[in-house]
Structure 1
Amino acid sequence: MTTRDAEATRRRLLDAATQEFAAYGIAGARVDRIAAAARSNKAQIYHYFGSKDGLFDAVFDAMCRETVDAVPIDPANLPEYAGRLHDSYRARPYVQRLATWYRLERAGSGTLLPVVMESNAAKVRAIAAAQEAGLIPARFSPVDLLGLVLHLSGFWSSNVPEYDAIATGAGGADDADHQRAVVVAAVEALLR
């Protein structure tokens, strides 16, 4: 198998696994369905990723890298950063589902993904520097402010269906522009 073929197989497995894990989590995902959707076989999953958990970690790592690369932080304009992060979640609805499965099924594994640790540490440093430069208020610590911004950006994609049912009938809350505007306004309010 050529390097190009191997990379294409690996990519197909990651794409298929992303959909499978988003739908079923780690425990519910089936490697035979992933292999079939990727037009591959189970042996390739174990060859490239070692285990189903290893495949999930690779999917989650790739998703995190994609998000970090696509949505760089702008500490001087955290409301717009939150809006762009919201847009990213809306464009890739599987992100919040995978993050929920990760919290539920991998949180106690003792494994912290370097890409997430490094990204969060860099964001905290950037927010601290912006606070020190007087670009944004220091009402919240850099760690707390980052957490609030991240959670507000994912607000609309992490609600329970009962809230969504109420919000849908409440003045256009199901409209993408409205949702983004709420996220941006909420972060602006944090910074007042």
Structure 2
Amino acid sequence: MRSAGEATRERILEAAKEEFAERGLAGARINRIAEEAHASKERLYAYFPSKEGLFTAVVERLVVDVSGDTAAASGDMGAYVGSLFDNYVQNPVNARLHDWLNFETSDATADSPEVVAFTPKLDEIRAAQAAGTVDASLDPAQLLIMLIEVTKAMAYPKAAARQLFKGNRRANSRAARRAAAVDAARRLSAPAPTSLVT
């Protein structure tokens, strides 16, 4: 059983995740987080010394959650995209928070949690390239970024994209969008066919 202190910390992290996903680091307010977590500001600051420190803790939790859900893909880019799609659909806050990371962490360094989290996936891509199951001509980082963005776009199409689906409800079903994202990942990462020498 968790202690009262652990329960309070968990409530603060959950409230902060929602606040950061909704408003980003700059727009988030400690008052709102503390109120939502049913904790005082003083209690919040006892666990997290600053808003930035709290944001880092939320990002670290996000990284662990998403990495855990996608770990089984093990070099299969289609499986990775399918797992990531499922994570975003089951946890819409994760997808929104991921978007804010692109805006809020322009000063991210090599040891930032969101950067460190990608290292094992980049290693997987390199290993798959060496094994010949992923196109070795692709830069691993470029491939990973493309796969993440395709997944987000299909898991949560923006308003303009939803208009494109009008008249084709089947293509806009969650299952169809997931299948399309997985297929795109496999096609994008597939090794180029070797030409026959005559």
Match of residue 160 from structure 2: 162
The separation in 2 between residues aligned to 1:170 and 1:76, in whole angstroms, is 33
The separation in 2 between residues aligned to 1:43 and 1:111, in whole angstroms, is 30
Q: CA deviation at 1:184?
A: 0.7
Match of residue 120 from structure 1: 118
The separation in 1 between residues aligned to 2:86 and 2:183, in whole angstroms, is 15
Match of residue 65 from structure 1: 64
Asked if the contact 1:82–1:149 (Cα under 8 Å) also holds between the matched residues in 2, the reply is yes
Q: Which has the higher mean CA deviation after the structures are superposed, 93-102 or 154-163?
A: 154-163
Asked if the contact 1:45–1:51 (Cα under 8 Å) also holds between the matched residues in 2, the reply is no
Match of residue 149 from structure 1: 147
Which stretches in structure 1 are left out of the alignment for 5+ residues? none
Q: CA deviation at 1:163?
A: 1.7
Distance 1:111 1:44, change over 3 A: farther
Q: Which has the higher mean CA deviation after the structures are superposed, 135-144 or 32-41?
A: 135-144
Q: CA deviation at 1:82?
A: 0.7
Q: CA deviation at 1:17?
A: 1.0
Match of residue 50 from structure 1: 49
Aligned residues: 189
Q: Please list the CA deviations of residues 77-132 of structure 1 after superposition, one character each: whole Å capped at 9, or x if unmatched.
A: 21111111111111111112112222222323x55554433332222222111211
Q: Secondary structure at the match of 2:117?
A: helix
Match of residue 97 from structure 1: 96
Is the aligned partner of 1:6 residue 2:43? Answer: no
Asked if the contact 2:155–2:178 (Cα under 8 Å) also holds between the matched residues in 1, the reply is no
Using the size of structure 1 for normalisation, the TM-score is 0.87
The separation in 2 between residues aligned to 1:189 and 1:81, in whole angstroms, is 13
Q: Secondary structure at the match of 2:137?
A: coil
Distance 1:115 1:54, change over 3 A: closer
Matched residue type, 2:170: G
Match of residue 19 from structure 2: 20
Match of residue 184 from structure 2: 186
The separation in 1 between residues aligned to 2:8 and 2:160, in whole angstroms, is 40
Match of residue 41 from structure 1: 40
The separation in 1 between residues aligned to 2:14 and 2:37, in whole angstroms, is 8
C-alpha RMSD of matched pairs (Å): 2.1
User: Which has the larger helix fraction?
Assistant: 1
Asked if the contact 1:73–1:123 (Cα under 8 Å) also holds between the matched residues in 2, the reply is no
Q: Which has the higher mean CA deviation after the structures are superposed, 37-46 or 94-103?
A: 94-103
Which stretches in structure 2 are left out of the alignment for 5+ residues? 191-198
Q: Please list the CA deviations of residues 49-101 of structure 1 after superposition, one character each: whole Å capped at 9, or x if unmatched.
A: 11112111211111111111121153442111111111111111111211222
The separation in 2 between residues aligned to 1:113 and 1:97, in whole angstroms, is 22
Asked if the contact 1:64–1:116 (Cα under 8 Å) also holds between the matched residues in 2, the reply is yes
The separation in 1 between residues aligned to 2:80 and 2:156, in whole angstroms, is 18
Percent identity at matched positions? 32
Q: CA deviation at 1:159?
A: 4.2
